[in-house]
Amino acid sequence: MTEPRPHTTVLLNEAVEALLAGAQALAQGTWIDATFGRGGHSRHILARLGPQGQLLAFDKDPEAVSAAALIEDARFSIRHEGFRHLADLEPASACGVLMDLGVSSPQIDSPERGFSFRFDGPLDMRMDTTRGESVAQWLASAEVGQIAEVIREYGEERFAGPIAKAIVARRQERGPLATTAELADLVAGTVKTREAGQNPATRTFQAFRIFINAELQELQQALAASLSVLQPGGRLVVISFHSLEDRIVKQFIAEHSKEVYDRRAPFALPQPMRLKALARIKPSAAEVAVNPRSRSAVMRVAERTQVPA
C-alpha cells in the first residue's frame, strides 16, 4: 500500500487570521472548524484561543475523526457528521465558522479510498466509508443519461455522453467497473483530446466524487446554516478548490450582502443585509511552489452583520 503523504494545510495562516480577526476577544466563545480534515486549521486556532475558548469540529470521514482523537485539549471536540449539521447548533452560538472544502492528501493518496486515478484501488470515493453507496455500486446500475448528467454537471466534461456510453457498454460486455484503474483506462480510451498536462480522467473523477458525496448540496446547506449559527460580527471563511464550489460561495455571499426590498410593499423598510463581504484571497506564489495542490484554492471571507432588534 502506498503511504499517504503528510497533508499540507492550504492558506493556513491567512484563514485563521481572517477567522479570528473580527473577534473582540479570544478568551471565550465558540469557533467552528466545519471540515476538520487532518486538523491543520484546528490546531492553529487552538493555539490562538484563550483558556475558556472552545473549538467544535465536524468531519464525516472516520479517519479524520480518528486523527482528531490525537488532540488532547479540553477546549476541542469533534462530531462525526458532515458540516450540513451546523444547522443543529444553537442560533448565534458561534464566533466564527471556517470551511475548507478540499480533499485531504491522505484521502487522495490512499488507494483504498478510490479518490485518485494515480493509484489502483476500489472505486469507492465516499468521504464517509460507514454509510451510503460507493461509485462502483452506483455505476453498476445507473443509466446512461444519469451518468452523463453527473459527469457533465459536476465535472464540466464536454465528453460526458461518450464516457457514459462507454461505461454502460463495458458493464454489459464484461461486468461493472470495480477499480480506479479500470475507470481511468476507460476514460482515457474515450477522451481523445485534453488540455496539456491534465489526465483525461480528471473531470470524471471529480464529478463522481462530488456526486456520490452530495458535496455541492451539503455546501449550500452549510452556508445557509452559518447565517443562523454566527453571532453578529462573526466571520465566515470558506476555502474552495474548483469553480463549482467557489461559484456557490461567491453567489451566497453576494446574495446576503445587500438589502432586500419587497416589491409587493414598496414603502416597507428593506430587510437588512446579513453578511458583509470582506476579502477574496489566493495562495501566494511561494505557497504554490511548496504545495502545488494549493494553486486552485480561493478563500472568501465575510462577516455576519448586526441584526436589528
Q: How confident is the model at residue 2 (pLDDT cuts 50, 70, 90)?
A: very low
The span from the CA of 1 to the CA of 137, in Å, is: 23
pLDDT > 70 in the chain, percent: 92
For position 298, what pLDDT does the model report? 97
Q: How far lies 128's CA from each of 81, 131, 134, in Å?
A: 9, 6, 10
Q: How confident is the model at residue 198 (pLDDT cuts 50, 70, 90)?
A: confident
Q: In what order do the strands lie in the sheet with 230-240?
A: 76-79, 52-58, 28-33, 94-100, 230-240, 298-304, 275-281
Using DSSP bridges, classify how beta strands 275-281 and 94-100 pair: parallel, antiparallel or unpaired: unpaired
In which residue are the cell numbers 471556517 written?
Answer: 98
Q: How confident is the model at residue 1 (pLDDT cuts 50, 70, 90)?
A: very low
For position 40, what pLDDT does the model report? 94
The structure's pTM equals 0.91
Q: How confident is the model at residue 3 (pLDDT cuts 50, 70, 90)?
A: very low
The letter for the amino acid at 210 is I
Residue 253 has pLDDT above 80, yes or no: yes
Among residues 19, 18, 56, the alpha carbon closest in space to that of 35 is found at 56
Asked whether the CA dihedral 173, 176, 181, 186 is positive or negative, the reply is: positive
Conformation bin of residue 132: beta by default, left when phi > 0, alpha when psi is -120 to 50: left
CATH code 1.10.150.170 region(s) in the chain: 129-212
| Contact residues for 291 (Cβ-Cβ < 8 A; gap 6+) | 8, 10, 283
Domain 12-105+215-304: give its CATH superfamily.
Vaccinia Virus protein VP39 (3.40.50.150)
pLDDT > 90 in the chain, percent: 79
CATH code 3.40.50.150 region(s) in the chain: 12-105+215-304
Q: How far is CA 309 from the centre of its chain?
A: 34
Residue 174 has pLDDT above 70, yes or no: yes
Fold held by 129-212: DNA polymerase; domain 1 (1.10.150)
Lookup: cell for 17: 487570521
For position 309, what pLDDT does the model report? 38
The span from the CA of 205 to the CA of 183, in Å, is: 9
Residue 143 has pLDDT above 90, yes or no: yes
Residue 76 has pLDDT above 90, yes or no: yes
